């Protein structure tokens, strides 16, 4: 298992433990590819793949809201909260990241949860 695969495994493990039944999918994307790294068993596979492809295309087009010289620092994650769901995009690099899809009930204490997820996929210095 590569370091990247281990980090994604740990991320899925963390989200499953914390979000439990609210966790729907996790999709890892790069500049030119994407693949589902987790899909809850009760979700239809084919519909999930079509929807994931459309979502990843939109993520690749997205520009951060902040200006380049912003005092906020580097862009790390984005959370989109909807009436019936939540998307969390965790950036790994300028061209890669992970998209988590959760049910709305997972939105409780969301900020600390996102920070914990970022720490799992961040490269380590060891």
pLDDT tens across 36-84, in order?
A: 999 999 988 777 778 888 999 999 888 777 766 778 877 788 888 888 8
In the DSSP assignment, the letter for residue 75 is: -
At residue 49, the pLDDT reads 77
Half-sphere exposure of 84 (CA within 13 A, CB side): 0
Q: What is the mean pLDDT of residues 12-17?
A: 95
**Predicted local confidence at residue 29, as pLDDT:** 96
Structural domains in the chain plus CATH codes:
3-121 (3.30.450.190)
- What value does the mean pLDDT of the chain take? 86
- Classify residue 2 by its DSSP letter: -
> 77-82 and 97-103: which strand pairing?
unpaired
- For the sheet containing 97-103, what is the strand order? 34-39, 23-29, 97-103, 85-91, 77-82
Sign, CA torsion 45/47/122/32: positive
- CA 49 to CA 84: how far, in whole Å? 19
Instruction: Say how many Å lie between the first and final Cα of the chain, rounded.
Output: 16
pLDDT surpasses 90 at 16: yes
Q: Is the per-residue pLDDT at 125 higher than 70? A: no
């Amino acid at each position: 298992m590569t370091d990247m695969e281990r980090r994604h495994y740990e991320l899925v493990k963390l989200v499953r433990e914390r979000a439990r039944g609210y966790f729907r999918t996790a999709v890892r994307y790069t500049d030119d590819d994407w693949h589902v790294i987790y899909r809850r068993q009760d979700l239809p596979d084919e519909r999930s793949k079509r929807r994931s492809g459309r979502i990843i295309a939109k993520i690749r087009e997205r520009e951060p809201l902040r200006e380049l010289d912003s005092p906020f620092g580097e862009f790390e994650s984005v959370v989109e909260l909807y009436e019936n769901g939540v998307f969390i995009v965790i950036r790994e690099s300028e061209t890669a990241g992970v998209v988590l899809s959760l049910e709305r009930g997972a939105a409780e204490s969301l900020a600390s949860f996102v920070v914990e997820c970022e720490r799992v996929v961040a490269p380590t210095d060891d």
